[in-house]
Amino acid sequence: MSNPYEAPTTSTPRRKEPGPLPPPQAPGLAGHIRIVAVLMIIQGFLELAIGGMLTIMAFVFPSVLAAAIAADPQVQKQGAPNAEEAAWVVMIVYLVMGLGGVIPGLLHVAAGFRNAFYKARTLGLAALSFGLATLPLVVCLPTALILAIYGIVVYLNPASVKAFEMGEDGYSGEAIYVTFFAPRPQPTSEPRL
């Protein structure tokens, strides 16, 4: 009778080591992958900063607004909305705006760090597309839109697809760089004898 709680004795299959480098490839837009990755990281940190501040304000500002409405006799005479209702509306608005920056920001940062090593192309495409959810932030939308267009064009390029495939197969960033950007011997124009 075997022990069901015993650790398995078979070794788990390991990912195969990458083989020899493929022949030199045409660079295409593969050189732009790391540029897009760095821009995604920067965009993500900016979205996180702005979204984080707005999320904090979602919990701070409503209580300040409710206290101001309740303390002002002029507002009470004019038939202003209930202070509690106004606080809830303000909280929901700021929370939607804040989360509209925090969630895409987290995706941009995570995808940027993975894409810098030629991994997780699908995550990168999703982060670029989901970056347009920064609409409530307004400030980050133009740069997110430009980054999405630039990044999607780069990531859909056949050379970039091949570079990401090599990254997922286990090749290092340097090996991928050599495959796409190593100097190639130029044909000589000397006549053969």
How many helices and strands (H and E) does the chain possess? 7, 0
Q: Which amino acid is it at 94? A: Y
Q: Is residue 23 part of a domain?
A: no
Question: Which region among 4-8, 68-72, 82-86, 94-98 has the lowest average model confidence (pLDDT)?
Answer: 4-8
pLDDT tens-digit profile of 24-46?
778 888 889 999 999 999 999 99
pTM of structure: 0.77
Using the predicted structure, report yes or no on whether residue 12 has a pLDDT greater than 50: no
Q: What is the pLDDT of residue 161?
A: 92
pLDDT band at 53 (very low <50, low <70, confident <90, very high): very high
Q: What is the predicted pLDDT for the residue at 21?
A: 74
Q: Is residue 10 in some structural domain?
A: no
Range of the domain at 118: 30-180
* pLDDT score of 14: 47
Between residues 102 and 23, the one the model is more confident about: 102
- How many domains are contained in the chain? 1
Please check whether residue 53 lies inside any domain of the structure.
yes
Mean pLDDT along residues 57-77? 79
Render pLDDT for 173-190 as a digit per residue (tens, 0 to 9).
Answer: 888 888 888 775 666 666
- Asked if residue 19 is part of any domain, the answer here is no
1 within some domain:
no
Rounded Cα distance between 76 and 69, Å, is 8
Q: Can you read off the two tokens belonging to residue 139?
A: 């400030």
Residue 126 placed within a domain: yes
Look at 14-18, 50-54, 122-126 and tell me which has the smallest mean pLDDT.
14-18
Cα dist. 1→5, 6, 7, 8, 10 in Å? 12, 12, 15, 15, 18
Q: Is 76 within the bounds of a domain? A: yes
Residue 101 CB neighbours (<10 A): 27
Query: Is there a contact between 129 and 155 (Cβ–Cβ < 8 Å)?
Result: no
45's tokens: 């940190």
pLDDT digits (tens, 9 = 90+) for 147-175: 999 999 999 999 999 999 989 988 888 88
- Residue 85 forms part of a structural domain: yes
